[in-house]
């Protein structure tokens, strides 16, 4: 492998870094060690390193009870993809608290172009406790979003979620296909820009399927602004005439609440602890809502669907 990478113009240090980051592939298989043999005629791909972006401050929102909660910015994948592990959220979170990536277990994942609270378990026991909390309905999340389209004041979407022809995407389907999914949604504010309608949404996903909120909103005829994959507009002309280029999905996880068993008290009676982690709405989304005449996100965060 070292010889192959040298032919591609990488010196020993760059080769070691690319393999450690998980950016080197032989065909569709990721290379994990420098001594790997390359079969004759195999295609070798080396992806460029990911550019790290500025992190919100504070980045670490909670650490303790076996949990680590961080404030994910848009543009960062939660876990490693083809461009490797370095600069992903799990890598940034591990470095922030002086741990190895392998010591963190993601218990929630936000899509690359979505922002907000992401929680990692730092112990196997905490990972199990979070899994049980999900099953018991004690893991609650509030998302806020801007959708392009008309929706009822309150709605509960229950389309199942299945893979689309493009393996990177999903689609809404009727049972018995796909995985059962449910999302509660409430319209907090409405506006019209030209012939286009926009809605400020408060969202409470009851399940955690891949792309769930994005797929449900698109299936309801109101794709999220900036969500090109599911038909959302990426360029909008504001009432002032200014053209707004939206470089991310207008979806943000504003808070997560978890009820978890805590250590026994002094009286040796089991008790529970409530953990609530909050992520401020990023400036670009706040400015977009204002430009579209939707006001602020405060009510959408405070109210429930």
Which residue is catalytic, options 21, 111, 227, 229?
A: 111
Q: Where are the alpha helices (DSSP H) in 85-228?
A: 89-96, 124-135, 212-219
Using a 10 angstrom Cβ sphere, with 0-12 exposed, 13-18 middle and 19 or more buried, the burial of residue 140 is middle
Global pTM reads 0.86
For residue 184, what are the CA distances in angstroms to 82, 142, 156, 207?
33, 10, 4, 10
84 confidence band (pLDDT: 50, 70, 90)? confident
Q: Look at residue 35 in the predicted model and tell me its pLDDT.
A: 61
pLDDT in tens, 119-133: 999 999 889 989 888
43 confidence band (pLDDT: 50, 70, 90)? confident
Answer whether residue 75 shows pLDDT above 70.
yes
Output the CA torsion sign for 274, 279, 285, 287.
positive
Q: Look at residue 266 in the predicted model and tell me its pLDDT.
A: 39
Please give the average per-residue pLDDT across 268-285, as a whole number: 82
pLDDT in tens, 170-201: 999 988 889 999 999 999 999 998 889 999 99
Q: CA nearest 172: which of 223, 207, 215, 208?
A: 215
What domains can be seen in the chain, in order of their start residue?
Answer: 2-46 (no CATH), 60-302 (3.30.2350.10)
Q: Look at residue 257 in the predicted model and tell me its pLDDT.
A: 95
Paired with 198 in beta bridges are: 148, 191
Q: Please answer whether residues 260 and 272 qualify as being in contact, where contact means their C-beta atoms are separated by less than 8 angstroms.
A: yes
230 confidence band (pLDDT: 50, 70, 90)? very high
Q: Look at residue 299 in the predicted model and tell me its pLDDT.
A: 92
Answer whether residue 64 shows pLDDT above 70.
yes
For residue 251, the 8-state DSSP code is E
Q: Please answer whether residues 212 and 156 qualify as being in contact, where contact means their C-beta atoms are separated by less than 8 angstroms.
A: no
| 128 catalytically annotated | no
Average of per-residue pLDDT values in the chain: 88
Answer whether residue 262 shows pLDDT above 70.
no
Answer whether residue 37 shows pLDDT above 80.
no
Tokens at 75, concatenated: 């543009």
Q: Please answer whether residues 157 and 220 qualify as being in contact, where contact means their C-beta atoms are separated by less than 8 angstroms.
A: yes
For residue 118, what are the CA distances in angstroms to 44, 223, 293?
33, 23, 29
Show Cβ contacts of residue 253 under 8 Å, excluding neighbours closer than 6 positions: 72, 108, 110, 114, 115, 116, 117, 118, 141, 142, 143, 279
Query: How would you label 154-184 residue by residue, b for 16+ Cβ within 10 Å and e otherwise?
Result: ebebebbbbebeeeeebbbbeeeebbebbbe
């Amino acid at each position: 492998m070292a010889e192959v990478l040298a032919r591609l113009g990488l010196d020993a240090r760059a080769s070691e870094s690319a393999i450690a980051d998980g950016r080197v592939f032989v065909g569709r298989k990721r290379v994990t060690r420098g001594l790997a043999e390359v079969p004759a005629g195999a295609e070798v791909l080396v992806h460029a390193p990911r550019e790290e972006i500025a992190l919100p401050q504070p980045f670490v929102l909670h650490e303790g009870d076996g949990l680590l909660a961080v404030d994910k910015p848009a543009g960062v994948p939660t876990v490693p993809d083809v461009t490797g592990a370095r600069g992903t959220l799990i890598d940034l979170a591990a470095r922030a608290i002086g741990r190895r990536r392998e010591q963190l277990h993601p218990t929630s994942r936000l899509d690359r172009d979505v922002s907000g609270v992401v929680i990692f378990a730092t112990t196997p026991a905490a990972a199990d406790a979070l899994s049980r909390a999900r099953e018991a309905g004690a893991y609650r999340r509030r998302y806020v979003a801007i959708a392009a389209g008309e929706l009822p004041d309150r709605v509960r979407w229950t389309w199942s979620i299945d893979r689309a022809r493009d393996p990177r995407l999903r689609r809404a389907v009727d049972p018995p296909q796909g995985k059962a999914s449910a999302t509660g949604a409430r319209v907090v504010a409405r506006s019209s820009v030209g012939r286009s309608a926009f809605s400020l949404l408060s969202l409470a996903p009851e399940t955690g399927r891949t792309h769930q909120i994005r797929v449900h909103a698109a299936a309801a005829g109101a794709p999220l602004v900036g969500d090109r994959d599911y038909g959302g507009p990426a360029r909008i002309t504001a009432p002032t005439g200014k053209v707004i280029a939206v470089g991310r999905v207008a979806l943000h996880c504003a808070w997560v609440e978890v009820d978890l068993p805590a250590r026994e008290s002094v009286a040796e009676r089991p008790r529970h602890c409530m953990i609530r982690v909050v992520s401020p709405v990023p400036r670009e989304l706040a400015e977009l809502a204002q430009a579209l005449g939707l006001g602020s996100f405060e009510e959408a965060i405070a109210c429930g669907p």
